[in-house]
Chains A and B, each alone.
Chain A
């Protein structure tokens, strides 16, 4: 029955001739006609709006809310009132998480602080490797957010609102700037193992919301398949899988000749990327090409799912054209046992973060890569004692840092009050941080919107947001 002499046409020939590239072009025009979402729609205007300083972002998310008072924010006055009642003038009527209704006592710094580098940045003893990069990073010491519990605070940090269902910043950036790779998704999320009492991180945090789903973050697993179902079934060789995918694409293309449906062209493209991911993803996660020196610098053991391995993976991803890598390290929620768990979390992340920055610098990548470090909020200057001294969630003042692409290095920006409670000088709201990040990427946050539910939705929302000019190199 079947023609025994038949041969497959060459894959590339098929893709070139058989409707793949044509299909994609047709898709774009049809989508434009149908008014559905494509890549850059007209509401975006011309993106980038100005020359970008950064082309990509590595966002090191210290989930749980690291204490600014044990990392970057030194307050000698707080030490002076250690153990005493915390002045009510600060706390009256303020949002309080777990300390609600409890007596509020001042908790001085655990661990010492010194100034480092030419810039003289204050950095805590818990972060010996951060001390070495004092002149590379810009510490924002006056961050404020609006959400005091983990999940909504992450949502706020990622999407600019606590309402779920809005696009994450990684989706926005890819939506605006497009992808630089056809082999990998433009927005990748990594979650590392280790740490204390890790909070669950919902995939909503990297949702594309009302933006097209192709801009959603793709999560890489720390063990098993790096991406769910990226491995071929047992017994199926690469060539076999290739033949299968090619057949599916050919039959879909034939079908499209009949029904002329733009979704089919998009589907052929999705199968193409799926095919490529089956090779590119394992290549990415295979550290065989990395020198022992590099592995040692990060402290990475291939396949361990650690923050260190994920930092190295992040570098490999941006080298391959991934636009936005978000790396979650959970376990910074130190309501108690602060000293013990600071040591554990810093032990997991401090050196690898330094290694990442150093590696990017050595490879000339830091110039146009924006690196961000920070949690969803900070921690109270007041004592909480769930198993040894700790601190509660705090949103009125905390620290983050930025480095690389277009950021002035070694800068110390803004300040909290003398007790580290309220940000008082050069306050940076999450929206300001988003506006600044977009600015560095060449995007004017005012003009960067998408129509949804009758509104021009923006990452920075409708409330005032400003680019922090002082941070710009």
Chain B
């Protein structure tokens, strides 16, 4: 038995046994190998990352059962750019994100939606829910908790007690980290194959049992409960509230504006100001009446609350921050 490539593709031309280097060369050789296909598949995936759907919608099937590309000329052009740049991924990211297509608004019209339901011709930018990791990273980033250090061992943020109870051979114990590591980017989170963190799972990160080119983007009550109640998000909300109190002028309106700026990069509309204002008044009154409850809420998480803030005030702003972190706009690439 000798290693070989599928018979319907160009063959590796080598006398004797082909090794992994031969395979790598074959994969990227556009003249004699299968480099053209590799470049197209990769270009399609880059496009998917920045436009929400591939030029061909089947990311992992360029064969007879895949979807033909909506714009073959564009796919080819991107593929050529990719290998001519020396397979430079950074170049591709720059190319895509500085394009006019990328910088369009994501607003659409019923007519455009009818004409091109998957927006494959990119008459506007696409709107899609962020991947699991980015939802968590975003909450940590806007609150200022995010640790941006690169590399190193996996980290273990808070996870429900007993989550590994059904794991066996051997029995595992999850030991939550108790330092700044819990605020590191989600790519560094510990992945227990098949038992990945419930937050990652709720937002469709794969269980890593098989290669996943495209994740589903679900919209479930389990995910809603996660964003609402997971102590990691509650902590991010409270630390975000502290940041707002610390950075904004001592005025509720200015504070709300600042919170919107931090989370959504815009000011609230009048209608939003009114709705959030109603919630704030309710929350503040509620926590004034129940100061112990306020203290409980602001004690969630590893970073202690700054004692200089009145607990009821901070708890009320935590409620506002929780609302913001739960918005569709916050968890959506707009």
Contacts and interface: CB of A to CB of B under 8 A. Distances in A.
Contacts of A247: 275-276, 278-279, 323
A462 interface: no
Interface string A1-31: 1111011100000000000000000000010
Contacts of A2: 252-253, 273, 277-278, 280-281
Contacts of B166: 191, 198, 200-201, 330
Interface in A160-205: 164-165, 185, 191, 193, 197-204
A274 B221 contact: yes
B169 interface: yes
A200 B293 contact: no
Interface stretch (A42-50, A78-86, A232-240, A354-362): A232-240
A263 B223 CA distance: 14
A230 B229 CA distance: 7
A7 B277 CA distance: 10
A127 B231 CA distance: 45
Contacts of B165: 193, 221-223
B194 A248 contact: no
Nearest to A228: B198
Given A165-B210, A229-B228, A254-B272, A235 B160 contact: no
B282 A8 contact: yes
Contact of A236 (B113, B218, B297): B297
Nearest to B231: A233
B2 interface: no
Contact of A231 (B207, B229, B290, B295): B229
A298 to B, nearest CB: 22
Interface stretch (A93-101, A132-140, A264-272, A393-401): A264-272
A261 B127 CA distance: 8
A250 interface: yes
A214 B218 contact: yes
Interface stretch (B20-28, B40-48, B103-111, B131-139): B103-111
A273 interface: yes
Contact of B117 (A33, A200, A250, A256): A33
Contacts of A214: 218-220
B179 interface: no
A252 interface: yes
Interface string B252-269: 110010000000000001
A227 B315 CA distance: 25
A453 interface: yes
Contacts of B195: 200, 202-203
A235 B278 contact: no
Contact of A203 (B169, B201, B231, B279): B201
A56 B309 CA distance: 53
B298 to A, nearest CB: 8
A237 B220 contact: no
Contacts of A258: 107
A288 interface: no
B271 interface: yes
B145 to A, nearest CB: 17
B277 A204 contact: no
A337 B280 CA distance: 63
B322 interface: yes
Contacts of B108: 259-260
Nearest to B219: A266
A6 B299 CA distance: 29
A244 B319 contact: yes
Best-buried of A4, A222, A240, A245 by chain B (most CB within 10 Å): A240
A472 to B, nearest CB: 35
A270 B168 CA distance: 33
Interface residues of A, number: 76
Contacts of A240: 282-283, 286, 319
Looking at B65, B194, B222, B293, the one whose CB has the most chain A CB atoms below 10 A away is B222
Contacts of A471: none
B168 A223 contact: no
B150 interface: no
Nearest to A4: B281
A454 interface: yes
A364 to B, nearest CB: 30
B219 A235 contact: no
A251 B110 CA distance: 22
Contacts of B280: 2
A243 interface: yes
A213 B218 contact: yes
B310 interface: no
A35 interface: yes
Contact of A197 (B168, B217, B256, B273): B168
B167 interface: yes
A425 B281 CA distance: 73
Contacts of A454: 65
Contacts of A278: 225
Contacts of A235: 290, 292-298, 315
A200 B61 contact: no
Nearest to B224: A274
B221 A277 contact: yes
B3 interface: no
A318 interface: no
B329 interface: yes
11 contacts: A1-B252, A1-B256, A34-B117, A191-B166, A224-B161, A230-B225, A233-B231, A234-B300, A235-B294, A236-B293, A260-B108
Given A235-B293, A266-B219, 9 more contacts: A3-B277, A165-B210, A185-B221, A223-B162, A228-B198, A234-B297, A252-B327, A260-B110, A261-B127
State the 6 A-B residue pairs at the shortest beta-carbon distance, nearest first: A213-B218, A235-B296, A2-B277, A1-B253, A235-B297, A274-B224
Interface of A: 1-4, 6-8, 30, 33-35, 164-165, 185, 191, 193, 197-204, 212-214, 216, 218, 221-225, 227-237, 239-241, 243-245, 247-248, 250-252, 254-256, 258-261, 263-264, 266-267, 270-271, 273-274, 277-278, 330, 453-454
